[in-house]
Amino acid sequence: TQLLEQSPQFLSIQEGENLTVYCNSSSVFSSLQWYRQEPGEGPVLLVTVVTGGEVKKLKRLTFQFGDARKDSSLHITAAQPGDTGLYLCAGEESGATNKLIFGTGTLLAVQP
Amino acid sequence: NAGVMQNPRHLVRRRGQEARLRCSPMKGHSHVYWYRQLPEEGLKFMVYLQKENIIDESGMPKERFSAEFPKEGPSILRIQQVVRGDSAAYFCASSPYRGEQYFGPGTRLTVT
């Protein structure tokens, strides 16, 4: 069974600080997707990384896919209160279906 | 372009009743996935469907749960004889191909 561990599980920081969220697995994934979920809503896709070593930037968010396609990180620069939410990584399982294996989640709170 | 739509957003059922959850994928998307998010747990894959076909139901409980995606109309997740343990948020995601998945807002099922 493929598992994705995220760390930290909870993070409370002040506005303007930087942070990094990690997503680790012992399994290889075809791709990895990062989502943000707010209370009472569905996950919203932020980015998909496909190639080992790939780095993608989305404004203040930087996503990296590990060389071996087993891990990923999300770095947020100068966090803002609007970044508050549950961040989920999800690995696309290799094989006939591309079902997603979700990580354990990182709950981020950015204090003004 | 409307996103993935799910209804109802909230559903309350007594033990033993049936629950029907509907999902309309994004326009042009022919792949539908259902996931369940139990309280204090992460998102777990249930079933993957294409039009008129169940491709992978490995995450679906063997009894009481069924899913369909007819040629016309929304995808339906059906839970017969609901029990308290079925209380959860059920999310549908759609994809135009075997790639990025876009989630709906979810249906919160409460079994009393």
Size of interface A-B (CB pairs under 8 A): 58
Give the pLDDT confidence score for residue A97 in this predicted structure. Answer: 79
State the pLDDT confidence band at A96, using cuts at 50, 70 and 90: low
The answer to whether the beta carbons of residues B14 and B84 sit under 8 Å apart is no
* Whole-number Å distance between alpha carbons of A66 and B56: 28
CB A31 to CB B56 under 8 A?
no
B94 inside 8 A of chain A by CB:
no
| B75: pLDDT strictly greater than 70 | yes
User: Residues A51-91: pLDDT tens digits?
Assistant: 999 999 999 999 999 999 999 999 999 999 999 999 999 99
Give the pLDDT confidence score for residue B2 in this predicted structure. Answer: 72
Give the pLDDT confidence score for residue B98 in this predicted structure. Answer: 62
The answer to whether the beta carbons of residues A105 and A88 sit under 8 Å apart is yes
Chain A residues within 8 A of B93 when measuring between CB atoms: 100
Q: What is the mean pLDDT of chain B?
A: 93
B106 inside 8 A of chain A by CB:
yes
State the pLDDT confidence band at B39, using cuts at 50, 70 and 90: confident
User: Residues B76-99: pLDDT tens digits?
Assistant: 999 999 999 999 999 999 998 767
Nearest residue on chain B to A87, alpha-carbon basis: B42
| B1: pLDDT strictly greater than 70 | no
| B74: pLDDT strictly greater than 80 | yes
Give the pLDDT confidence score for residue B38 in this predicted structure. Answer: 87
State the pLDDT confidence band at B104, using cuts at 50, 70 and 90: very high
Above pLDDT 70, what percent of chain A? 97
CB B33 to CB A102 under 8 A?
no
Nearest residue on chain B to A43, alpha-carbon basis: B103
Positions of E strands within chain B: 5-7, 10-13, 19-24, 31-37, 43-50, 53-56, 65-68, 75-79, 88-95, 102-103, 107-111
* Whole-number Å distance between alpha carbons of A45 and A34: 6
Chain A residues within 8 A of B33 when measuring between CB atoms: 99-100
Q: Are strands A19-24 and A5-7 parallel, antiparallel or unpaired?
A: antiparallel
B96 inside 8 A of chain A by CB:
no
CB B105 to CB A100 under 8 A?
no
Q: Is B17 or A104 the better-scoring residue by pLDDT?
A: B17
